[in-house]
Structure 1
């Protein structure tokens, strides 16, 4: 499944935008695109007339319409498509296992977490082993923007912790031939939270802002060397991570954030910063899992 990009479709405008974005991304990065529509016959426990054959045919039509449209609009695309007989979350997680990324449609902000598959979208982002890209209907424009819209990536923690997130962001910027803006948000620690050691180091560097800049540069150093063709803008700003990233990505072509993988008793989480940008970003958002 490596060198494969997976996209989930359900016939909605959001899923069509996601499929188009995924197709352009696949062509741009020379990846194979696998289109998945999850459908499982589930008789309702209510007095409603249901016809399994009709619903199965409609599921196949959704897939065929998506496949035909993508083939027509992207003739260079290597494409396969299938209806998976399962509910969406396990179907897409299996399909995306080992893939380069999974692409989903998103309805953006709402009273509930409204992604392509309702709350399924958030479950997929929290559980997928590969990066997941969320695309809204109005975000289905070209991947390689004519105006050279930059890729924005949120960096936090140390160099090792953010390596996977930065790798993905540098790859995307290099593929598009655009600049990369690396953003590190910071806030003043509570009075009793800062350890004497960390505050001493910060003082030696002239305050917390230079300390944060040094941490960002250290994380970027190996990736600058690996991708010398990518112009990098280091952006350090005080504030909450979600607010700083949304501000920095107001004109971006893609926003990349990380999701720490934890073995949680109550299930996986996507984190507050990722949650904020998924709902409010004006561009597609890639959530990259990392340890």
Structure 2
């Protein structure tokens, strides 16, 4: 069975970072890489004023030159280019339907860790039926790896752990499998984070109940262990670190992302009259994580 990784490409620094990450992931997957560039036609009456013809020429030239560079830097990966027209969010979401993975770029937040996810990226993540990975501009291969003994980032050292933010109460198999496979490809540990809500007395400033806290923590740890038991057996080579913590789940995932090669969260597919949504936890992780984020849709 052939595998394909698709990267949205428009020549921007964020799309260049996404294409490089996609090429590295295609190499790990043994997949081919397809750069998809989307041309949104302008009305004929405005074309002379907006430079429509020149822009379309650039949309053809730039991805082809990028593909040539990727082939040189990733000689084991087959790289192709596809130029499509239409609304970028709709075209890219459709492109994800025929791929194992769609990779998009996002601008980094100056001075802060995290992403500035544009309207196209948010729309694609909310509507795609297959996993979508968001990569910040400036993301380098060495960022996914542990520092070498001298403290210098290096792509020659082992991968940092993969982080999975899991809803252990109603876990979805596709999200968990994606995370285990990502950790196995990288030969690294999988840190699985699950959060349980703080007891109500925290909100009212009442004294803590240590026994209740301990019981809640024990109960949640058992729920998490049960959710992962069969997956540990299916992927015996993957080191799994289960972490059950009180508080807001997005906060814990964002904190863990600072020492991660990849962060994975789920998105429930909903049919709603107000349109698709990514959910508050996934939304927060997308905007504040310090590592690439994979959003895996599930029912």
* Alignment correspondent of 1:122: 122
Inter-partner Cα distance in structure 1 for 2:45 and 2:246: 53
Inter-partner Cα distance in structure 1 for 2:97 and 2:255: 33
The change in CA–CA distance for 1:44 and 1:218 in structure 2 (over 3 A counts) is farther
Inter-partner Cα distance in structure 2 for 1:227 and 1:23: 25
* Alignment correspondent of 2:232: 224
Q: Check whether the contact 1:8–1:103 (CA below 8 A) recurs between aligned residues.
A: yes
What CA deviation, in whole Å up to 9, does each residue of 1:61-87 have, x standing for no partner? 121122112111111111211110112
Provide the alpha-carbon RMSD of the alignment: 2.4
* Alignment correspondent of 2:179: 169
- SS state of the match for residue 258, structure 1? strand
CA shift, 1:135, in A, is 0.2
Q: Check whether the contact 1:132–1:287 (CA below 8 A) recurs between aligned residues.
A: yes
Of 193, 202, 205, which residue of structure 2 is paired with 1:183?
Answer: 193
Relative to the length of structure 1, the TM-score reads 0.87
Question: Do residues 148 (structure 1) and 159 (structure 2) align?
Answer: yes
* Alignment correspondent of 1:214: 222
The change in CA–CA distance for 1:28 and 1:144 in structure 2 (over 3 A counts) is farther
Inter-partner Cα distance in structure 2 for 1:243 and 1:279: 12
CA shift, 1:215, in A, is 1.0
Of 264, 268, 289, which residue of structure 2 is paired with 1:260?
Answer: 268
Map 1:1-291 to 2 at 5 A: 3-43=3-43, 49-109=49-109, 114-115=116-117, 118-142=118-142, 145=145, 146-158=157-169, 161-188=171-198, 207-291=215-299
Inter-partner Cα distance in structure 2 for 1:63 and 1:245: 34
- SS state of the match for residue 262, structure 1? coil
Q: Check whether the contact 1:102–1:131 (CA below 8 A) recurs between aligned residues.
A: yes
Q: Check whether the contact 1:144–1:176 (CA below 8 A) recurs between aligned residues.
A: no
Inter-partner Cα distance in structure 2 for 1:187 and 1:290: 23
CA shift, 1:90, in A, is 1.4
CA shift, 1:252, in A, is 0.6
Listed as ranges, the gaps of 5+ residues in structure 1 are 192-201
CA shift, 1:127, in A, is 0.6
Listed as ranges, the gaps of 5+ residues in structure 2 are 146-156, 202-210
Q: How many residues align?
A: 275
Q: Check whether the contact 2:132–2:296 (CA below 8 A) recurs between aligned residues.
A: yes
The change in CA–CA distance for 1:6 and 1:139 in structure 2 (over 3 A counts) is same
